[in-house]
Homo-oligomer: A and B are copies of this chain.
Amino acid sequence: MIVVMKPGATQRQIDHVIERIEQLGLRSHVIVGTERTVVAALGEKRDGAKQALETGEAVEKVVPILAPYKMASTEVKQERTCVAARGLKVGGRRLGVIAGPCSVESRDQILELAHFVKEAGASGLRGGAFKPRTSPYSFQGLKEKGLQMLAEARQQTGLAVVTEVMAPEHVPLVARYADVLQVGARNMQNYPLLEAVGESELPVLLKRGPSATMDEFLLAAEYILKTGNTEVMLCERGIRTFEDHTRFTLPLATVPYLHQTTHLPVVVDPSHGTGKASLVAPMAVAAVAAGADGIIVEVHPDPEKALSDGFQALTPAAFRHMMADCRKVAAALGKMM
């Protein structure tokens, strides 16, 4: 860490910072500049030392040198992580495609869709059985019955089931049916939940919170990795900004940025990332071009009658068309889909 003193800091105040650095088990190194003094703290760990130094008298700011996360970092593990669940592989040369409805609505709906998306090239089946909804008056999911329908769809198609879990106490139940546990954007910093999915030993799809920085996102992943579970996919699903013509703003630069800082694979969700069916396909194709390891997309046989988020679901025909474009772009860049 670098502790920057205010101009005019007294020797007593500088000595105090040095003392604090040493109390924290670090070595100090003073640099006297033209207008200010700076004290380097060597031997940095990733705990609360930064905050402790920040409150010192005449300290202007403390600049950390190390990233706050460790196990997620390419500094610690260089080979890329590839997460696999049945036929779904995310992180290699072949892109993983996860598709399906926002919510599981009925046995017929999910079976029909599963067969359809499988045929169109998906290897994972999405579908919510426990639905976190902004309004308590909205449809909340079919719960265990929905999970059973997903399991049946998997049995018929071989697709990996990707479904959300909302509370630590639901993890054992959902883990009985799912191949991948999804942690939703609203729960990215629900730490008891992160620990519980980590301990499930199932692969995890971790969605970025709509106002999470990259450091916060990777620290959330770190909560899972710390349990010993290294099968984590990071999912960019859009952030909250001032833009009002889309539901969220989808920042695809996340993809190359994460590829440069972490070994974990990156999945993009253009459905939530735009919130408008007419924008989903171009952004899915762009995500592939940006180097995404996978995409997760909402498809519904009749979006107008969907019980949730129909406005952002692709029709089967639109999904097939999107897949064709994605496949062309992937091939052009030496990837498979």
A binding-site residues for B, Cβ under 8 Å: 2, 4, 7, 20, 29, 31, 33-36, 38, 40, 42-48, 51-52, 54-56, 63, 65-66, 68-70, 75, 132-139, 166-170, 186-187, 189-193, 209-211, 213-216, 219, 222-223, 226, 239-246, 249-253, 255-257, 260, 273-274, 277-279, 282-283, 285-291, 303-311, 313, 325, 328-329, 331-333
Number of this chain's copies in the complex: 4
Q: Report A337 CB to chain B, min CB distance, Å.
A: 12
Which residues on the B side are within 8 Å of A66 (C-beta)?
35-36
Q: Are A329 and B333 in contact (CB under 8 A)?
A: yes
Given A139-B48, A167-B168; A249-B246 close (CB under 8 Å)? no
Q: Report A281 CB to chain B, min CB distance, Å.
A: 8
Q: Are B38 and A34 in contact (CB under 8 A)?
A: no
**Measured CA separation A240–B328 after assembly (Å):** 33
In the complex, given contacts A246-B257, A252-B286, what are 20 additional A-B residue pairs having Cβ atoms less than 8 angstroms apart?
A31-B42, A33-B40, A36-B66, A45-B137, A47-B137, A63-B63, A132-B189, A168-B168, A187-B189, A190-B190, A210-B211, A214-B243, A239-B241, A252-B282, A252-B283, A285-B290, A286-B286, A288-B289, A289-B290, A331-B332
Q: Are B310 and A54 in contact (CB under 8 A)?
A: yes
Of all A-B residue pairs in the complex, the 3 with the closest CB atoms, nearest first, are A211-B211, A289-B289, A332-B332
Q: Report A176 CB to chain B, min CB distance, Å.
A: 18
Q: Are B135 and A304 in contact (CB under 8 A)?
A: no
Q: Which residue of B lies closest to A227 (CB)?
A: B136
Which residues on the B side are within 8 Å of A69 (C-beta)?
135
**Measured CA separation A275–B245 after assembly (Å):** 20
Q: Report A56 CB to chain B, min CB distance, Å.
A: 6
**Measured CA separation A107–B336 after assembly (Å):** 46
Which residues on the B side are within 8 Å of A137 (C-beta)?
45-47, 68, 70
Q: Are B169 and A169 in contact (CB under 8 A)?
A: yes
Q: Are A279 and B304 in contact (CB under 8 A)?
A: no
Which residues on the B side are within 8 Å of A135 (C-beta)?
46-47, 68-69, 219, 222
Q: Are A240 and B243 in contact (CB under 8 A)?
A: no
